[in-house]
Chains A and B, each alone.
Chain A
């Protein structure tokens, strides 16, 4: 296993000097905490990953696992919230963003790094035309651009994401577009400045399956065209398996499994990842009896369960007397497929091949 490609945690944890990025995007020990009336919400708690240009990272997890908070953190969008505390390091193309001047990060936003939001009906302003919103994204970062040139650019972009009659539809309002078209328009808006880092937050969640496939194809095509680094955030392992080079599984604001997509998807080792796989419908196999849901509900980010945060929902808790309820498992740093689990590696592989794989 350790002889695999070094795309993951190994490189910098092992030897690279601190405070030097080792990848195009290098996130280290990212923590995003929110002070609320109920207590401190640790939405993201010590997350590290890296991503090169031209490659895709999939971040997977349930609602409330910290996926979206992570992406907003990279864009520096928590700074506008007075109750948010962000710490750690985010290196983008050799520059650290958390300690950078907010105005500097603002100028990167939408140009060097941009984001496709979930549910473009609410994510686009209902009172402005699609064209005006794309034009605004373009002109914000091209001060000299005339309105006419920006509009041409917007129409061109809409055409490239597959909006028919883009020159006419550019003056439509978001509510006049269908769901899939809105998502395309959202993508056009995110790509209008040729970003080097593209974060897609559940880009297909609101769409039906055929449109989903089209949108994923579109993101893949545009990525190969622009050579961007892409982060896909989703709760759908299928989407991630199709697009990603690496997969990061989040639970309770932390990474629980991280590795190459082929590893995590075909040989997952964390019981939570097994649960995600088991609850996913598969069309490439014979009809299985039933989907296997993960029992219980996502943990409170104010009071994480003691020990392993997943232990209340884990079917293998305490297997062979391991202290799941008291000992917090670490994410190992000496492997390129780290898993935050107290089960021994042989146990995990045995359980997966004997219990889990046959049911998938």
Chain B
């Protein structure tokens, strides 16, 4: 088990390196695609040729791409120095460079955005996990009833309606029309937990609605499938109460696919929920990414991408290990 986890972490790291290489390629591709040199992006539109040359040297853009990549990795691992003539700027590890637009260090910027995205993703995840699985269970156990059909129609709506529709609708209704919720922006949890929750409740519900729909359908299908299993019949033949048959024997089997999907979904969201963050103007990683893309702020795009990739790779490892914990037939070797 330990050996398996270590090996998975190693392959995960290798995967991240490959992803970083591919992502780093945008430094090479972007100038060709947009016709704009990264140095020009950094200096700004009014730059003269000398300033651009100086910037190229400062950012190391004059070196071959593989050297640039080497410096980039070195920056992440041990930090790096940017040498612009007389002055040397030290960028401590993990260094993802500086924003082209604001000249801020990328890493602290990511760290600042992280709590917003985490608050959004984890809060929404709890809501959709509980509501989705519950709705799916009820639906399956009351198959073909009015409740079942209602849940499934709502689920279909949840899957079909985009966040920028449900999110804006929710805002229009609950904030502006009914005025149940104030139009506040993100407040850190440790500053004021109540305001933190008030600001996030609509984004949570909007995001959770989208995912809960998938979970309700997945749970319903798995429960129905499990109910037909021989071992459920055996549990009933043993004289167990129906409640126990469901809560123990059926739920145990339903857990497996749910855990798998949940881990990957959450991992994906921790790298930023672009649409939800944009709709609710939450300054999380997703918003950071979309703004950076709009401004061709390459170092930030690179940083957010690496960040998101890290969470997905890590979530995969966690899910695989959990799988072995849940299913005794799975041997991790």
In the complex, A175 Cα to B328 Cα: how many Å? 9
Q: A126: which of B233, B235, B240, B328 is its contact (CB, 8 Å)?
A: B328
Q: Is A140 a contact of B233 with CB atoms below 8 Å?
A: no
Q: B101 near A: Cβ within 8 Å?
A: no
Q: B154 near A: Cβ within 8 Å?
A: no
Q: A114 near B: Cβ within 8 Å?
A: yes
Q: A128-B252, A136-B238 are in contact. Are A77 and B233 (CB under 8 A)?
A: yes
Contacts of B242 in A (CB 8 A): 80
Q: A254 near B: Cβ within 8 Å?
A: no
Contacts of A189 in B (CB 8 A): 238
Q: Is B230 a contact of A109 with CB atoms below 8 Å?
A: no
Q: A24 near B: Cβ within 8 Å?
A: no
Q: A173-B329, A175-B328, A175-B329 are in contact. Are A126 and B231 (CB under 8 A)?
A: yes
Q: Which of A115-123, A241-249, A321-329 contacts B (4 or more CB under 8 A)?
A: A115-123
Q: B195 near A: Cβ within 8 Å?
A: no
Q: B305 near A: Cβ within 8 Å?
A: no
Question: Measured between C-beta atoms, what is the minimum distance from A157 to chain B in Å?
Answer: 14
Q: A125-B249, A127-B252 are in contact. Are A110 and B239 (CB under 8 A)?
A: yes
**Which residue on chain B has the smallest CB distance to residue A115?**
B237
Q: Is B231 a contact of A111 with CB atoms below 8 Å?
A: no
In the complex, A80 Cα to B237 Cα: how many Å? 11
**Which residue on chain A has the smallest CB distance to residue B327?**
A127
In the complex, A108 Cα to B237 Cα: how many Å? 10
Q: B229 near A: Cβ within 8 Å?
A: yes
In the complex, A117 Cα to B236 Cα: how many Å? 12
Contacts of A106 in B (CB 8 A): 239, 241
Q: A107 near B: Cβ within 8 Å?
A: yes
In the complex, A123 Cα to B253 Cα: how many Å? 14
Question: Measured between C-beta atoms, what is the minimum distance from B22 to chain A in Å?
Answer: 39
**Which residue on chain A has the smallest CB distance to residue B245?**
A80
**Which residue on chain A has the smallest CB distance to residue B256?**
A127
Q: Is A80 a contact of B236 with CB atoms below 8 Å?
A: yes
Q: Is A123 a contact of B233 with CB atoms below 8 Å?
A: yes
Q: Is A77 a contact of B253 with CB atoms below 8 Å?
A: no
**Which residue on chain B has the smallest CB distance to residue A138?**
B238
Question: Measured between C-beta atoms, what is the minimum distance from A109 to chain B in Å?
Answer: 4
In the complex, A77 Cα to B230 Cα: how many Å? 12
Contacts of A75 in B (CB 8 A): 237
In the complex, A111 Cα to B241 Cα: how many Å? 13
Q: A124 near B: Cβ within 8 Å?
A: yes
Q: Is B231 a contact of A125 with CB atoms below 8 Å?
A: yes
Q: A109: which of B239, B253, B329 is its contact (CB, 8 Å)?
A: B239
In the complex, A136 Cα to B234 Cα: how many Å? 12
Q: A127-B252, A128-B252 are in contact. Are A141 and B239 (CB under 8 A)?
A: yes
A114, A140, A175, most chain B CB atoms within 10 A:
A140
Q: A137 near B: Cβ within 8 Å?
A: yes
Q: Is A110 a contact of B237 with CB atoms below 8 Å?
A: yes
In the complex, A55 Cα to B235 Cα: how many Å? 27
Question: Measured between C-beta atoms, what is the minimum distance from A113 to chain B in Å?
Answer: 9
Q: B326 near A: Cβ within 8 Å?
A: yes
Q: Is A117 a contact of B328 with CB atoms below 8 Å?
A: no
Question: Measured between C-beta atoms, what is the minimum distance from B83 to chain A in Å?
Answer: 60
Question: Measured between C-beta atoms, what is the minimum distance from B198 to chain A in Å?
Answer: 41
In the complex, A111 Cα to B237 Cα: how many Å? 10
Q: Is A136 a contact of B230 with CB atoms below 8 Å?
A: no
Number of interface residues of B (CB under 8 A): 20
Q: Is B231 a contact of A77 with CB atoms below 8 Å?
A: no
**Which residue on chain A has the smallest CB distance to residue B233?**
A77
Q: Which of A49-89 contact B (CB under 8 A)?
A: 72, 75, 77, 80
Q: A106-B241, A173-B328, A173-B329 are in contact. Are A125 and B236 (CB under 8 A)?
A: no
- Write the B213-257 contact mask toward A (1 if CB under 8 angstroms, else 0): 000000000000000011101111111111000000100110000
In the complex, A75 Cα to B236 Cα: how many Å? 9
Contacts of A175 in B (CB 8 A): 328-329
Contacts of A108 in B (CB 8 A): 239
Q: Is A117 a contact of B239 with CB atoms below 8 Å?
A: no
- Write the A164-206 contact mask toward B (1 if CB under 8 angstroms, else 0): 0000000001010000000000000100000000000000000
Contacts of A140 in B (CB 8 A): 238-240
Q: Is B238 a contact of A77 with CB atoms below 8 Å?
A: no
Q: Is B252 a contact of A109 with CB atoms below 8 Å?
A: no
Question: Measured between C-beta atoms, what is the minimum distance from B246 to chain A in Å?
Answer: 11
Q: Is A136 a contact of B240 with CB atoms below 8 Å?
A: yes
Q: A127-B326, A127-B327, A173-B328 are in contact. Are A122 and B230 (CB under 8 A)?
A: yes
Q: Is B329 a contact of A122 with CB atoms below 8 Å?
A: no
Q: A80-B242, A110-B239, A140-B239 are in contact. Are A123 and B328 (CB under 8 A)?
A: no
Question: Measured between C-beta atoms, what is the minimum distance from B138 to chain A in Å?
Answer: 16
Q: Which of B252-297 contact A (CB under 8 A)?
A: 252-253
Question: Measured between C-beta atoms, what is the minimum distance from B144 to chain A in Å?
Answer: 9
**Which residue on chain A has the smallest CB distance to residue B231?**
A125
Q: A117-B233, A119-B230 are in contact. Are A127 and B328 (CB under 8 A)?
A: yes
Q: A124-B231, A125-B252 are in contact. Are A77 and B329 (CB under 8 A)?
A: no
**Which residue on chain B has the smallest CB distance to residue A175?**
B329
Q: A106-B241, A122-B229, A127-B252 are in contact. Are A117 and B329 (CB under 8 A)?
A: no
In the complex, A106 Cα to B243 Cα: how many Å? 12
Q: A127: which of B236, B237, B241, B253 is its contact (CB, 8 Å)?
A: B253
B233, B234, B236, most chain A CB atoms within 10 A:
B234
- Which A positions have Cβ atoms within 8 angstroms of B? 72, 75, 77, 80, 106-111, 114-115, 117, 119, 122-128, 136-137, 140-141, 173, 175, 189
Given known contacts A109-B238, A110-B239, A125-B252, what 7 new A-B pairs fall within 8 Å (CB)? A80-B236, A107-B239, A110-B238, A117-B233, A117-B237, A125-B234, A173-B329
21 A–B pairs (Cβ distance < 8 Å), ordered by A: A72-B233, A80-B242, A106-B239, A107-B239, A109-B237, A109-B239, A110-B237, A110-B240, A114-B237, A117-B233, A117-B234, A122-B229, A122-B230, A123-B230, A127-B253, A137-B238, A140-B240, A173-B328, A173-B329, A175-B328, A175-B329
7 closest cross-chain pairs (CB), A and B:
A110-B239, A109-B239, A110-B238, A122-B230, A125-B231, A123-B230, A137-B238
